[in-house]
């Protein structure tokens, strides 16, 4: 084979070319996002108008216009999803990427629910519940539209400022000052002193007790193949994150600053969202009865607690005293969310028992294998208010998923059509 003495220089040049091309692509994506943002306010207003039109059409029983308006709203949802995907690609900080991701998820999940709720009201014009449900989803869409506008402005502003100032990658990786940090000045992570740690120790200890309850519940699932059991995996991930936050209240562990804690809380809420969707899919397989009713009662509380935690993390603060109050609130909301998740996991265990009693598959060989996040989109809204979310009526799936029974010597039952 012919040797090229300067091949190393060719490789270096190729690497530089790839990096330059990547930088050019990022620049072009940023310019595209800027162009989209210039028209975004008009698009947002148009989407809200369409949602209000759907409400009016459903109230007035104008069946001939319902499908046409629904098609227009579907097109609007697709446009919003593309905007969110673009924002996630050009976001320079991990926090903004997470925000863009969840905004996209919420638009995908709750956008079509506006149409579904409008059709439900059209089919049941005298139903007060159907009317309230539509009002809730229309209000939720307005909140989602506001979220898209906010995240677009933050991503574009940060991208423009980084281009002008020619910041290094190290500084670009930090959140925007005053938005997700603890001060309106340049971000300066804060450490709690011993007196402040003592004040939040009680809340931290309460969260540790809830974490222990969660661990006890997940230990009941040892008969299942945990690597395939998404409920157990998500629950254990949340337990580990909550424990690290508990260690923060004692001045121990890997979380050193308040910003570390807030970032961990964001990931905690993200994992709760994933667990919510997994359990929601599992609930479709549970036969009707008291265990399923109890499961849904606990599960429907999860989005509200997730929203509260996300709002608390995003709340800007100024000064050390305000930062301490925010830390206390984040720990408290994390504890509340962990508590309801523990009840959800416990009820899932009871429902699984019920299913296996009906099917006759041995308890020790059961396997719950529900769709992972890569298979389905998650769900709870991070933008609606507590009162609005509490009133949302979750519509059941249009088709039921049959149970699939495998030979007893395989010792497992799939509770889902997905693998």
pLDDT at 416: 34
pLDDT at 38: 62
> Going along 1-100, which residue ranges are E strands?
none
Q: Which of 282, 274, 266, 338 is nearest to 305 (CA)?
A: 338
Phi-psi region of 148 (alpha: psi -120 to 50; beta: other; left: phi over 0): alpha
- Fold held by 12-168: A middle domain of Talin 1 (1.20.1420)
Within the chain, all domains assigned CATH 1.20.1420.10 are found at 12-168
| 172, 92 Cβ separation under 8 angstroms | yes
Share of the chain above pLDDT 90, in %: 0
Distant-in-sequence contacts of 392-395, Cβ < 8 A, 24+ apart: 392/133, 392/136, 392/137, 392/140, 392/300, 392/303, 393/129, 393/133, 394/280, 394/296, 394/300, 395/113, 395/116, 395/120
Which residues, in sequence order, are bridge partners of residue 405? 413
Architecture of domain 221-366: Up-down Bundle (1.20)
Q: Return the higher-pLDDT residue of 254 and 355.
A: 254
pTM for the whole thing? Answer: 0.42
Q: Is the pLDDT of residue 47 over 60?
A: yes
Share of the chain above pLDDT 70, in %: 63
Place of tokens 């945990």: 226
pLDDT at 373: 35
Give the span between the Cα atoms of 415 and 363, in whole angstroms: 14
Range with lowest mean pLDDT among 102-116, 135-149, 365-379: 365-379
Q: How confident is the model at residue 43 (pLDDT cuts 50, 70, 90)?
A: confident
Helix (H, G, I), strand (E, B) or coil at 404: strand
Q: Is the pLDDT of residue 337 over 80?
A: yes
Within the chain, all domains assigned CATH 1.20.120.230 are found at 221-366
How high is the mean pLDDT of the chain?
71
Range with lowest mean pLDDT among 4-13, 64-73, 205-214: 4-13
Half-sphere exposure of 379 (CA within 13 A, CB side): 23
Range with lowest mean pLDDT among 17-31, 279-293, 318-332: 17-31
pLDDT at 392: 39
Give the dihedral of Cα atoms 239, 234, 109, 94; nearest 10 deg: 70
| 33, 155 Cβ separation under 8 angstroms | yes
């Amino acid at each position: 084979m012919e040797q090229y003495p300067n091949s190393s220089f060719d490789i270096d040049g190729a690497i530089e070319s790839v990096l330059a091309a990547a930088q050019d692509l990022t620049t072009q994506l940023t310019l595209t996002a800027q162009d989209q943002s210039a028209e975004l306010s008009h698009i947002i207003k148009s989407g809200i108008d369409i949602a209000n039109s759907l409400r009016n059409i459903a109230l007035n029983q104008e069946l001939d216009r319902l499908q046409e308006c629904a098609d227009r709203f579907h097109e609007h949802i697709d446009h919003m999803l593309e905007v969110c995907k673009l924002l996630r690609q050009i976001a320079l900080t991990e926090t903004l990427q997470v925000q863009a991701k969840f905004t996209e998820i919420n638009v995908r999940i709750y956008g079509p629910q506006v149409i579904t709720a409008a059709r439900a009201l059209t089919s049941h014009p005298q139903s007060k519940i159907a009317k309230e449900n539509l009002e809730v989803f229309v209000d939720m869409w307005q909140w989602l539209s506001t979220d898209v506008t906010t995240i677009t402005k933050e991503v574009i502003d940060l991208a423009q400022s980084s281009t002008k100032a020619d910041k290094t990658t190290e500084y670009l990786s930090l959140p925007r000052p005053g938005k997700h940090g603890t001060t309106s000045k340049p971000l300066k992570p804060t450490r709690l002193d011993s007196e402040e740690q003592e004040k939040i120790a009680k809340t931290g200890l309460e969260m540790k007790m809830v974490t222990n309850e969660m661990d006890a519940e997940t230990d009941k699932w040892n008969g299942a193949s945990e690597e395939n059991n998404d409920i157990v995996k998500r629950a254990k991930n949340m337990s580990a994150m909550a424990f690290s936050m508990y260690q923060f209240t004692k001045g121990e562990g890997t979380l050193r600053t308040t910003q570390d804690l807030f970032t961990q809380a964001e990931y905690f809420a993200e994992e709760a969202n994933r667990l919510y969707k997994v359990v929601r899919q599992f609930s479709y397989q549970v036969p009707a009865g008291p265990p399923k009713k109890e499961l849904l009662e606990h599960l429907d509380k999860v989005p509200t607690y997730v929203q509260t935690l996300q709002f608390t993390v995003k709340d800007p603060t100024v000064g050390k005293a305000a930062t301490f109050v925010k830390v206390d609130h984040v720990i408290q909301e994390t504890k509340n969310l962990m508590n309801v998740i523990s009840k959800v996991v416990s009820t899932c265990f009871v429902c699984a028992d019920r299913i296996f009693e009906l099917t006759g598959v041995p308890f020790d060989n059961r396997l719950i294998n529900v769709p992972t996040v890569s298979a389905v989109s998650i769900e709870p809204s991070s933008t609606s208010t507590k009162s609005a979310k509490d009133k949302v009526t979750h519509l059941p799936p249009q088709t039921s998923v049959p149970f699939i029974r495998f030979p007893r010597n395989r010792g497992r039952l799939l509770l889902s059509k997905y693998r």
